Structure 1
Amino acid sequence: MFRLLNIEFHKLKHNRASRVLSIIYFALLTSIALIAAIKFDIGPIKFHLAEQGIFNFPYIWHFNTYVAAIFKFFLLLVIVSMMANEYSYKTLKQNLIDGLSKKEFILSKFYTVVAFAFVSMVFVFVTSLVLGLIYSDFNELSIILSDLDYLLAFFVKLVGFFSFGLFLGILIKRSAFAVGAMIVWYCVEWLIYGILGWKVVNNWDTAQSIKNFLPLEAMQNLIIEPGSRLGAVKSIANQIGTEFSKDYSVSFTNIIIVLIWTAIFIYLSYFLLKKRDL
């Protein structure tokens, strides 16, 4: 595994675009801390975002993983360009000539995906822990360690998303078109939902239940938006007669669905590479 990872990171190290995108991605993850600096005064109204409870344990695990997941598109570009470069620079063919099997080649890409996801998870964990220890009103160890399953959901989400990008990179061979294909697939999932709800099952709840099994929807459902969970938001909602009844917990079922899709994407990547004449 480490030999295959070393090969991939050697390629990434010598690719300027990948280095720049990776730096931007981790800089954006770090920038979550800048949210604490957001404050403004409007007459007698003084607003400091950090005082609204977003950095309280255990809520911070939910909030930071949700925000950090938005930046995953920068690493997606690294993943798809990584595959596009294999074809453009003929390094794929050279690796196979040098003795790397097609299975090892796919594994090297998958290990890179997992490594990116793992480093991202650790990065978010450390950033969240530091921010929480500084700003949280609750610092008991039991509270700090609760809701850590959001980090697992974040990791699984990134692995699934990057595996999808890897598959599209192998299928299409061009990074821009691969990213475009993912956007198209996102629209296709909504189209499927619309057709199911309007024509097939004639029930929007059933259509949504079916849509939950599609890859991007399942990944999105791993971490539900945290905004409506804030006490201040709930208070405003109650004042205007609205209630939120969402389940914010991490669903084990969604984790299984995303892991199954991840396995499918990696297998299809290997299948394509195995059948394709290089």
Structure 2
Amino acid sequence: MMRLFSIEWLKLSKSRYFKWMMGLWLIAFIAVPFGFNEAISWIAEQGAELYTNLGFDASMLPIFSFTDLWHNLTYVYKLMTLLLSIIVIVNVGQEWEEKTIRQNIIDGMSRTEYFISKEILLLTLTLLSTALLIAMGLTVGYMLSSDTSWSSVTGHMDFVYGYALHVFLQLNLAMLFINVFRKVGLTILLFLVYLYVLVPTFWGINLWNESEVHTYLPVTISWDVVPVPFGKYIFQLTPDHVDPQTLALGAVWAVILLFVNNLLTTKRDLR
């Protein structure tokens, strides 16, 4: 396992795109909560008149209270998974385009080992993003939350599990796309169209027909595992915890994607 990780890391450490994309992702990851807090403070300052008339102050919203923090952060960070997905597409796509996968096989690596090495990359990105999420959540929470009791800190951390599942699912979906199409530029375009055009269109058609088929799609499961949290601030009903059924469906889709990616990697013609 460590040998496969070392081989994959050797490839990535020499890749300029990986350093730039990971650097951009890391900067955004760190900047988001502090930038959001500054925005809330600015809104609070600009809203002095609103506070005077209605008794409302934007800084009163418990966005960074531990009771809300994990849900809010996981949802916002979920929006940045696309950067990690592009990293996976480029990484796997270069193997197909430059025929290095064939060279790996010639050099003695089995197809199964190659597949495992890519899944190690996906798992590493998932664990890294989850660990950073926890670190940022604890840092921001202890700085800005009024209640730092153990029960408050850990009471809603199930959203962290939901976030980890979301990342792993979307990265495997990105790997599926590049394994099917094999061309980096084309795959990125089709992946974006799928995520932001085809899936929302299908959602809209299903909602109009009062159908729930779309709720079982892997992308829907991936997104629903951490639902939109901000409705609670305008008195909309919002889940306080991750839905266990959604987690279970996500785990099923993860197994399915692993199986299909394994087939495409180990059985498909390498030409």
Please state whether the residue corresponding to 2:222 is helix, strand or coil. helix
1:34-67 C-alpha deviation (Å, 9 max, x unpaired): 2222222337347986652111012100011110
CA distance in 2, matches of 1:124, 1:169: 27
> Are residues 1:264 and 2:267 paired?
no
- 1:195 Cα offset (Å): 5.1
> Are residues 1:87 and 2:88 paired?
no
- Asked if the contact 2:206–2:214 (Cα under 8 Å) also holds between the matched residues in 1, the reply is no
- Asked if the contact 1:113–1:163 (Cα under 8 Å) also holds between the matched residues in 2, the reply is yes
1:215-245 C-alpha deviation (Å, 9 max, x unpaired): 1111110111111123xx33xxxxxxxxx23
1:137-190 C-alpha deviation (Å, 9 max, x unpaired): 111111111111110000000000000001111111122222222233344444
CA distance in 1, matches of 2:36, 2:4: 38
CA distance in 1, matches of 2:95, 2:183: 10
Structure 2: gaps spanning 5 or more residues: none
- Asked if the contact 1:8–1:109 (Cα under 8 Å) also holds between the matched residues in 2, the reply is yes
- Tell me the equivalent position of 1:178: 187
Alignment of 1:1-278 (within 5 A): 1-31=1-31, 32-38=33-39, 39-40=41-42, 41-42=45-46, 44-45=48-49, 51-186=60-195, 187-193=197-203, 196=206, 202=209, 204=210, 207=211, 209-230=212-233, 233-234=234-235, 244-273=236-265, 274-278=267-271
- 1:17 Cα offset (Å): 0.6
Percent identity at matched positions? 19
- 1:99 Cα offset (Å): 1.1
- Asked if the contact 1:69–1:158 (Cα under 8 Å) also holds between the matched residues in 2, the reply is yes
Number of matched residues?
260
- 1:83 Cα offset (Å): 0.9
RMSD across aligned C-alpha pairs, in angstroms? 2.1
Aligned AA (1:102): R
TM-score, reference length from structure 1:
0.86
Structure 1 residues 75, 43: CA separation in 2 closer, same or farther (over 3 Å shift)? closer
Structure 1: gaps spanning 5 or more residues: 235-243
